[in-house]
């Protein structure tokens, strides 16, 4: 079995499993005032501190959420509402067109229901937003911009965005920039303070932590309008009883992701390079998606379009041989649609139907790459004979 | 009637075929897939997404085309223990089935979209893709039997249980398509309750799911409303056989030959007897009504013939079926050029252009064609008078 879909979710680290199971046996609501509550609270705050340290943030900047999607929604909707409340003229949202659906659909919803004007920033053929493009877009009318949102690195094609330059451009106009860094943590040097971002989304299960936990790193001057009202936890920005076991395990995974990042990037990057080389050798007309320069893409990401193939045919054939990857596209009722990311890079719609994303992780081996190298040629040939339905 | 002694059926097929099971989310296709897997085949389940904008949930008892159906199919595949995928054939389905359906009604004919779907989608688009991907056969939950002759040719026969038989909607399949078709329910002499009991035994949650009826892409069952949305209102006259106006309608496409209900004719016929739709003329947007006797058809011509095997030569006597749940009637038929010329032994009623006529030799499906023109007994009587 070759699991090459770590960008979807990656196995939990044993250390995180241990931290989580240890906490599951304990009792205590972190908001309670008695000893059990204080113990739980202490666990949460220690986790907050270690996660903050791992991500270059202050502990008070960590707002725990139930995952990346919630953190993205909180950032986009919450900042929109608070910025508009402070100045009704601020209704313009600038977003990259290659965002994850958790951002894209939230932005779209604000446009449909909350009077936002959504403007998609131009991207190059690698799906990258350049700082000049953001600067130019804000400068057209700096007074009406509520926020900008550009992901740190793309989940499908792996392109890394120039986050610092983008944040600097936004800062020139005092516009808050949010970045979804779900895919970047553990693979790139993610330092919240150094980035200049106003808000940043991270997720547990993409870095070896548990499902259902994430965080929005939130600069202290920002008070987004909450999505969830209730007990006032998490700076009154995110109410709800804290999931102590998940928080503890998330922090362990975050710490390890940061500590192991350089080695991981080097090792998994080498495997990824070999995977790309194998695929190109077996299928010379395969088109690599994203930035071909390893410095410009996530070290664990390989993305291809295979001319004349249907992505779901490729996936089925690889799956039957025990190779698990993704078409990298959105699903409705499990039906693959051409990816908005691939289309945004200017790839034609027909080629965009034959995409596959291989994403590596901490359990990936040379054997996984060898399995792909052996299977991909015949699989593409077969899928091509099935054609585009 | 011809017999086929010694013909093995697919009840005892060779094992280890790679089978793609089309799973609608209903009980029949789930049990069919389970039986194929149990017979030792390597089965993969596929749900066909046929609607570009699927509804989230079923309304009423209808199946197909909802996200809930795709989830039901996925859960059945989980229980059977087979891989499962959704394939998007919405564009092909729209082009080949839905648009054809609308165009046929617009032209005053009465199409059968299920036949069309079997011909163009399940045993064409899906089958071709399956074969290209290395599968040997497509399996569905239809009630029909494939018989393999000693020389390897295939025959399609009615299901063992005539009451469940669905060979009519498969009458469009040629022998190449049949060679790769698997109908594990076809030789079951059983009731729907027994299929449900089998599903229950197998732990399939769809055991109690209501049957699907009618046309899957018209979720509320209102065909006339669906057509009105597509074709717009077009008021016209309802006339009797003499051409006298007896009422108005909002679109000739909303009628089917033989239809009695919903004519909304103001004043009754002179003889007080009910009137039926005799003719639909899209050219002048007129619907003609008359007495039931005037519906009697003694002959027809049909186009686009499809044969399960070699096309028969010369004139022959067959039984014919004209509707999905219709009875059998004896005919004489002959292929003249590309046109099938059919004469009925006894007059039949409710025959509409656009419908399929499927010819049988005993239980064997000989072929099918699309009805183009009909000849009425009344017209002949008028001529000879």
Strand partners, B148: B154
Q: Which of A256, A291, A318 is the last residue of a domain?
A: A256
Are A88 and A94 a contacting pair, CB within 8 Å? no
- Residues A356, A251, single domain; the answer is no
pLDDT at position B2 is: 32
Which of B57, B85, B91 is the mutation pick for testing A, counting most A CBs within 10 A? B85
pLDDT at position B253 is: 86
A334 to chain B: closest CA residue? B86
Listed residue (B310, B330, B306) closest to B318, CA to CA: B330
Residue A389 has pLDDT above 80, yes or no: no
Strand partners, B360: B319, B365
Mean pLDDT of chain A: 96
Instruction: Look up residue B123 and give its DSSP letter.
Output: I
Q: Is B25 annotated as a binding residue?
A: yes
pLDDT at position A131 is: 98
Q: In chain B, where are the structural domains located? A: 18-208, 233-294, 296-384
The whole domain housing A354 covers 2-8+261-386
Q: Do A332 and B67 touch (CB under 8 A)?
A: yes
Tell me chain A's radius of gyration from C-alpha atoms. 21
Q: Do B129 and A386 touch (CB under 8 A)?
A: yes
Residue A151 has pLDDT above 60, yes or no: yes
- Residues A291, A243, single domain; the answer is no
Instruction: Look up residue B97 and give its DSSP letter.
Output: I
* pLDDT tens, N- to C-terminus, chain B (385 residues): 333 333 334 444 567 899 999 999 999 999 999 999 999 999 999 999 887 665 554 444 344 457 788 899 999 999 999 999 988 888 889 999 999 999 999 888 989 998 999 999 999 999 999 999 999 999 999 999 998 888 888 899 999 888 889 999 999 998 889 999 999 998 666 777 889 999 999 999 999 888 776 788 887 778 888 898 889 888 999 998 888 888 889 888 888 888 888 777 766 677 778 889 998 988 888 999 998 889 999 999 999 999 988 888 999 999 999 988 888 999 999 999 999 999 999 999 889 999 999 999 999 999 999 999 999 887 666 655 5
**From the CA of B132, how many Å to the nearest CA of chain A?**
5
Positive or negative: CA dihedral B189, B191, B196, B200: negative
Q: Do A317 and B134 touch (CB under 8 A)?
A: yes
pLDDT at position B260 is: 85
Nearest to B132 among A332, A335, A385 (CB): A385
Contacts of A312 in chain B (CB under 8 A): 85, 87-88
Tell me if residue B117 is catalytic.
Answer: yes
Contacts of A387 in chain B (CB under 8 A): 129, 132
Burial profile B187-205: b = 16 or more Cβ within 10 angstroms, e = fewer: bbebeeeebbebbeebebe
Q: Is B60 annotated as a binding residue?
A: no
Q: How many CB atoms lie within 10 A of CB A377?
A: 15
Chain A residues whose C-beta is within 8 A of a chain B C-beta are 312-313, 315-317, 319-320, 332-337, 382-383, 385-387, 389
- Residues A246, A268, single domain; the answer is no
Residue A104 has pLDDT above 60, yes or no: yes
- The domain that contains A191 carries what CATH number? 3.40.640.10
Contacts of A353 in chain B (CB under 8 A): none
Residues of A labelled as active-site residues: 331
pLDDT at position B213 is: 66
- Matching CATH number, B296-384, of 3.40.50.1980, 3.40.50.1820, 2.60.40.1930, 2.40.30.10: 2.40.30.10
pLDDT at position B127 is: 95
pTM of the predicted model as reported, rounded to 2 decimal places: 0.88
- For chain A, give the number of residues: 389
- The domain that contains A265 carries what CATH number? 3.90.1150.10
- Residues A147, A292, single domain; the answer is no
Contacts of B83 in chain A (CB under 8 A): 316, 319-320
Q: Which of A256, A271, A295 is the last residue of a domain?
A: A256
Nearest to B132 among A332, A337, A382 (CB): A382
Residue A135 has pLDDT above 90, yes or no: yes
Identify the weakest region by mean pLDDT among A255-259, A269-273, B148-152, B371-375.
Answer: B148-152
- Fold classification of B18-208 is Rossmann fold (3.40.50)
Q: How many CB atoms lie within 10 A of CB A109?
A: 15
Identify the weakest region by mean pLDDT among A269-278, A285-294, B55-64.
Answer: B55-64
pLDDT at position A84 is: 98
- Residues A148, A46, single domain; the answer is yes
């Amino acid at each position: 079995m070759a699991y090459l879909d770590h960008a979807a979710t990656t196995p939990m680290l044993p250390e995180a499993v241990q931290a989580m199971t240890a906490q599951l046996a304990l009792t205590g609501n972190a908001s309670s005032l008695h000893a059990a509550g204080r113990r739980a609270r202490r666990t949460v705050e220690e986790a907050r501190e270690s996660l903050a340290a791992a991500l270059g943030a202050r502990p008070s900047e960590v707002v725990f959420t139930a995952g990346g999607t919630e953190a993205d929604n909180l950032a986009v909707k919450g900042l929109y509402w608070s910025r508009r409340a402070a100045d009704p003229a601020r209704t313009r949202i600038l977003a990259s067109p290659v965002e994850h659906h958790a951002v894209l659909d939230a932005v779209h919803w604000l446009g449909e229901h909350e009077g936002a004007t959504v403007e998609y920033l131009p991207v190059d053929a690698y799906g990258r937003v350049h700082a000049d493009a953001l600067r130019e877009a804000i400068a057209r009318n700096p007074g009406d911009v509520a926020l900008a949102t550009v992901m740190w690195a793309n989940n499908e094609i792996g392109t890394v965005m120039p986050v610092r330059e983008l944040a600097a451009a936004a800062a020139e106009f005092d516009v808050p920039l949010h970045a979804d860094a779900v895919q970047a943590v553990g693979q790139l040097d993610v330092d919240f303070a150094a980035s200049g971002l106003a808000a940043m989304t991270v997720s547990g299960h993409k870095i070896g932590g548990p499902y259902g936990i994430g965080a929005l790193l939130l600069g202290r001057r920002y008070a987004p309008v909450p999505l969830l009202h209730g007990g006032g936890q998490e700076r009154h920005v995110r109410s709800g009883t804290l999931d102590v076991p998940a928080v503890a395990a998330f922090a362990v995974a975050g710490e390890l992701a940061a500590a192991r990042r350089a080695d991981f990037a080097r090792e998994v990057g080498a495997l990824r390079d070999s995977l790309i080389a194998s695929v190109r050798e077996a299928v010379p007309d395969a088109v690599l998606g994203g930035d071909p320069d390893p410095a410009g893409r996530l070290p664990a990401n390989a993305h291809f379009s295979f001319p004349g193939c249907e992505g779901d045919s490729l996936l089925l054939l690889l799956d039957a041989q025990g190779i698990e990857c993704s078409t990298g596209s959105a699903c409705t009722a499990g039906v693959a649609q051409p990816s908005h990311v691939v289309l945004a890079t200017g790839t034609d719609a027909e080629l965009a139907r034959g995409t596959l994303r291989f994403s590596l992780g901490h359990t990936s081996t040379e054997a996984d790459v060898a399995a792909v190298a052996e299977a991909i040629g015949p699989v593409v040939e077969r899928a091509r004979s099935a054609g585009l339905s | 009637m011809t017999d086929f002694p010694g013909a093995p059926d697919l009840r005892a097929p060779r094992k280890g075929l790679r089978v793609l099971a089309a799973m609608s989310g209903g009980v029949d296709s789930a049990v069919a897939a389970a039986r194929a897997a149990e017979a030792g085949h390597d089965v993969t389940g596929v749900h066909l997404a046929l609607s570009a904008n699927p509804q989230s949930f079923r309304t009423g008892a209808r199946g197909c085309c909802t996200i809930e159906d795709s989830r039901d199919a996925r859960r059945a595949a989980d229980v059977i223990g087979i891989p499962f995928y959704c394939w998007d054939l919405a564009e092909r389905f729209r082009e080949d089935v839905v648009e054809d359906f609308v165009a046929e009604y617009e032209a005053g004919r009465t199409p059968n979209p299920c036949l069309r779907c079997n011909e163009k989608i399940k045993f064409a688009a899906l089958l071709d893709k399956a074969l290209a991907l290395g599968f040997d056969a497509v399996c569905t939950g239809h009630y029909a039997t494939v018989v393999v002759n000693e020389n390897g040719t295939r025959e399609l026969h009615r299901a063992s249980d005539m009451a469940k038989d669905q060979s009519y909607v498969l009458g469009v399949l040629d022998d190449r398509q049949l060679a790769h078709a698997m109908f594990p329910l076809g030789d079951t002499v059983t009731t729907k309750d027994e299929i449900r009991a089998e599903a229950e035994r197998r732990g399939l949650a769809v055991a109690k799911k209501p049957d699907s009826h009618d046309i899957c892409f018209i979720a509320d069952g209102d065909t006339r409303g669906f057509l009105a949305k597509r074709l717009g209102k077009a008021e016209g006259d309802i006339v009797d056989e003499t051409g006298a106006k007896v009422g108005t309608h909002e679109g000739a496409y909303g009628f089917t030959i033989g239809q009695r209900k919903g004519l909304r004719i103001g004043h009754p016929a002179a003889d007080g007897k009910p009137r039926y739709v005799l003719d639909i003329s899209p050219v002048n947007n007129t619907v003609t009504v008359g007495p039931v006797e005037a519906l009697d058809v003694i002959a027809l011509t049909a186009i686009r013939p499809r044969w399960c095997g070699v096309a028969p030569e010369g004139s022959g006597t067959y039984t014919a079926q004209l509707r999905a749940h219709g009875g059998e009637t004896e005919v004489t038929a002959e292929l003249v050029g590309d046109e099938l010329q059919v004469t009925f032994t006894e007059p039949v009623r409710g025959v509409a252009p656009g419908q399929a006529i499927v010819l049988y030799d005993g239980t064997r499906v000989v072929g099918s064609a699309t009805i183009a023109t009909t000849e009425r007994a009344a017209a002949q009587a008028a001529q000879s008078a």
